[in-house]
Chains A and B, each alone.
Chain A
Amino acid sequence: MRTLLLLLVLPGALWADQPLEQLQRGMAAVRSVYLEFTQERHLSLFTEPLQSEGVMLIEKPDRIRWETTAPFRSILLGDHKSVAQFEEGKKLNLGFPQMLQRVMEQMTLMHQGKLDALTADYTITVSTNRIVLVPKDANIRGMLEAIEMQMTPEFQAVREIVMKEPGGDFTRIIMHNERRDVTFPPGTFDQSKPLPLADVKKALSHAP
């Protein structure tokens, strides 16, 4: 009976590991990522989703810039040491920076395919083109039921992230216009005076 159970479970487990390894392998060689996103906040109370737009920039080993460009301008910058936020160009004296830094770090790990580094915080399952992360901490699950990552068919990149809340509300982040291995200009990740996005884009448009 035990053998039968093993036979039933083992192929699934092996199969489940492959996409994660594939993702990690595919992303390991990627030095940097530039992508644009559309964020949809689906609240059951509203008939239409509430939308925002922006860009996400990641540079190895751990630098991230998450910038909302519409309907308001806000920049979040993070690395393994610190996090900073700018609102309409003004730097904030952040409350609870550690919490924000942890989230930024997790976002970087997800987009680098380093999901094994998240197993302490999440139970991870894989199905066709989809990776689901369920928080292990019950308190966090009370606010965030699961994170679903929609992948490209070859598990080479994240296309969409859905953050599900217990009440049925969710946030969908759709990634597009992704560019890899770009060279960001100096100041892109500067936590004191980040280079304006227009200048970053200009530098990237001139890059080969």
Chain B
Amino acid sequence: MRLETILLLLLLTGCATVPPPRKPVRVTTNALLTHRAVLTIHGRQFTFTGYLALSETNGLRLIMTSALGQVMADVLVKPDGAVYLMRPSPVLRREWIERYVVSDMRRYVEFLTPTLSINDRHHTLELRTVETKPGPQPAKLFEVPR
């Protein structure tokens, strides 16, 4: 089996089946951040651009796009910790987004540093904040889907 196929299967099937427990999340600023990230899975690297909207009252919303501009993940995390996948990902499985993407988002808002490196046995994420637009974000970004 080709490595690409294995990677694709990994991304599609995910490594975890149990979603992480819901934990409240505390956002301490209002801003729209642009992130550039390099994700490494089993030695293979993928670049992403992330647009992260932060709201002290409404939580956080991440739109993650691939090198080619395609939306890979669109996630809303409410202050009470509730997670909503706002649109289906063409590549990433729901469980993978809930476990890894959301966990990385939580880690990021905890520190709010210009760079962040996350390394566990499943993935490595090198993240840089490349643009910050401070200010309140539109409420519609944080509306829970019906």
Contact = CB atoms under 8 A, between A and B. Distances in A.
Contacts of B141: 45-46
Interface string A72-114: 1010100000000101100011111010100100000000000
A43 B32 CA distance: 13
Contact of B46 (A43, A47, A95, A144): A95
A132 interface: no
Interface stretch (B15-23, B65-73, B77-85, B94-102): B65-73
Contacts of B90: 142-143
Given A71-B130, A100-B68, A85 B47 contact: yes
B107 interface: no
B38 A87 contact: yes
A92 B47 contact: yes
Given A143-B90, A167-B87, A71 B44 contact: no
B68 to A, nearest CB: 6
Contacts of A76: 67
A25 interface: no
**On chain A, which size bracket covers the interface?**
20 to 34
Contacts of B8: 96
A47 B138 contact: yes
A98 B4 CA distance: 9
Given A72-B36, A103-B68, A171-B69, A45 B4 contact: no
Interface string B7-46: 1100000000000000000000000101010100101111
B63 A43 contact: yes
Contacts of B138: 45-47
User: Which of B32, B69, B90, B131 has the largest number of chain A CB atoms within 10 A?
Assistant: B69
B124 to A, nearest CB: 12
Interface in A35-51: 41, 43, 45-47, 50
Nearest to A170: B69
**On chain B, which size bracket covers the interface?**
20 to 34
Interface in B105-146: 128, 130-131, 138, 140-141
B7 A95 contact: yes
Nearest 7 A-B pairs (CB), nearest first? A95-B44, A92-B45, A71-B130, A72-B36, A71-B131, A72-B130, A171-B69
21 contacts: A41-B69, A43-B63, A45-B63, A46-B138, A50-B34, A72-B128, A76-B67, A85-B47, A85-B67, A92-B45, A93-B43, A94-B44, A95-B44, A95-B45, A96-B4, A96-B8, A96-B46, A98-B4, A100-B68, A142-B90, A143-B70
Given A45-B63, A46-B138, A96-B7, 12 more contacts: A45-B138, A45-B141, A46-B141, A47-B138, A71-B36, A71-B130, A85-B67, A94-B44, A94-B46, A95-B44, A143-B90, A144-B70
